[in-house]
Amino acid sequence: MSEQHAIIDIGSNTVRLVVYDGPSRAPGVVLNEKVTARLGKDVARSGLLGDKAMGVALSALARYAALLRVIGVDDVEVVATAAVRDARNGPEFLQAVRAAGLSPRLLTGEEEALTSAWGVLAAFPGVTGVAADLGGGSLELTELCGDHCEHGISLPVGTLRLPDLRARGSSEFGRAVRGSLRKAGWASGRDAPLFLVGGSWRTLARHAMVRLDWPIDDPHGFELAPEAALKICRSLARGKPILDLPRASASRLASLPDAAALLAALVREIAPSRLVFSAWGLREGLFYRKLGKATQAQDPLLAGVTGFARSFGVGPATATMIAGWTAALSPECDAADEKLRIAAAALSLAVMQIEPNLRAEQAMDWALRKRWIGIDARGRAMLAAAILANSGITAVPAEIAPLASPADFSRAIGWGLAIRLCRKLTGSAPQALADTALLPSGTQLTVALQPAAQALYSQALGKDHRLLAEWFGLEPAVDLRGALGKPPRSPAQTAVPVPRRGD
């Protein structure tokens, strides 16, 4: 039986199929396909799903059902949201979906809101604030409370409805948004983060990123201050030219002014402390709720990075052991930095499987552009610096310099240099890792070697040892006694010469 899991999301604007590979805290996507059916286009005006839209949607769903049979995916969850929920002919449409061999479940507005919020909590564990999921037919708002979510509401202000609402004028539009919030009894989110979910808002984030010359092009985790967001939203809402955004669909770009106008109204009404864009929402929430408690409790960054590194032959245990080998250099490392250090070890080992002339570029791409969950811009910059240092590059690229402090970069480069020395000394072999140790003490940075590991240390390794020691303002030393738990007692016990730079 296949371990893949499929979710089909019958939304008001698109009908999408996503196939996830295996039960994972950060699941890999092996298939992601959508069709823009615009099921909700006519619902606000006529109360009915249009025949053309239903035809497009049912054709896509028939393909999805056939494709899943061919692939052999047995675990399939199908959900329908606002357009089908609000349409008088929604039940007839769902019956046609069942005839295609699928088993759809119609979500209530509250279920849709809470499920999307769980997707945000899965991506940003432990956060508090508000999740705002903008779809074609509705906007869902939900309170995020660290380990759970509550008070989910659905408002009829989706992207397909916004043009008619905005046609009444900006003042009337603002009153309509305020009225929807008050009618639903919404009064949460002041001075708390507002997490934004949905394709239109991710497109807005990408517009802002290009406008700000942001070095990261994945909108997940991108943040804006409310004042900056209002400035950008007002410009877009007034019809100012939209920047060229590769990979943005024409329909997303067309909805951008309306989505910006709605966001500006929400920022004014809710008064959040900051805006955070999330690529995870309803589908990820559905997937996350299917996982066991132990899997849900895993760190999403480490789950994603170690799963990715495994495809390059790097086992999670190896990355953890190498991070442990370097731990003595970071005695005050907090949980967040420890997570980054393990991730840096895994990616540093993986990038060594790439052709040497491609490694630096690949390292930057993985750190800055790949969709990682559970990491912010600072963390991405530190990952990039560590992986580059693993290749012997200690200069911080100018493009990422604003993302972290000099102290952050210095720490990350130290990790990378230590990982470099470790993998070159031990070959990442468990026995060699157990027979060697890195011991900073006083003015020295000592490599301690058990007798069986003494031949591993060479003049070439001495240069990497010296580079690492000098980075921390120390002198390199080697202990041949195999005293892995303590540094050498005197310089006389440094039996292997450590060459100076240039020797």
What amino acid is encoded at 459 in this protein? Q
Which three-class secondary structure state does DSSP give residue 171?
helix
Q: Which positions ≥6 away from 496 have C-beta within 8 Å?
A: 454, 457, 462, 478, 480
CA angle 213/218/219 to nearest 5° reads 85
Q: Cα torsion at 33, 38, 40, 44 (round to 10°)?
A: 160
Do 423 and 322 touch, CB atoms closer than 8 A?
Answer: yes
Rg of the chain, C-alpha, whole Å: 27
Q: What is the 3-state secondary structure (H, E, C) of 59-103?
A: HHHHHHHHHHHHHCCCEEEEEECHHHHHCCCHHHHHHHHHHCCCC
Domains and CATH numbers, the chain: 4-106 (3.30.420.40), 110-283 (3.30.420.150), 303-427 (1.10.3210.10), 435-503 (no CATH)
DSSP state of 490: S
Q: Are 15 and 34 in contact (CB under 8 A)?
A: yes
Q: What does the chain come to in residues?
A: 503
Q: What pLDDT score does 244 carry?
A: 67
Rounded CA gap, 67 and 57, in Å? 15
DSSP-assigned letters across all residues of 345-383 = HHHHHHHTTS-GGGHHHHHHHHHHHS--SS--HHHHHHH
Per DSSP, the three-state class of 331 is coil
pLDDT tens for the chain, residues 1 to 503: 348 999 999 999 999 999 998 668 999 899 999 999 999 999 988 999 999 999 999 999 999 999 999 999 999 999 999 999 999 999 999 999 999 999 999 999 999 999 999 999 999 999 999 999 999 999 999 999 999 999 999 999 999 999 999 999 999 999 999 999 999 999 999 999 999 999 999 999 999 999 899 999 899 999 999 999 999 999 999 887 666 676 777 778 888 999 999 999 999 999 999 999 999 999 999 999 999 999 999 999 999 999 999 999 999 999 999 999 999 998 878 888 999 999 999 999 999 999 999 998 999 999 999 999 999 999 999 999 999 999 999 999 999 999 999 999 999 999 999 999 999 999 999 999 999 999 999 999 999 999 999 999 998 999 999 999 999 999 999 998 755 544 443 333 443 435 444 44
Q: State pTM to two decimals.
A: 0.90
464: left (phi over 0), alpha (psi -120 to 50) or beta: alpha
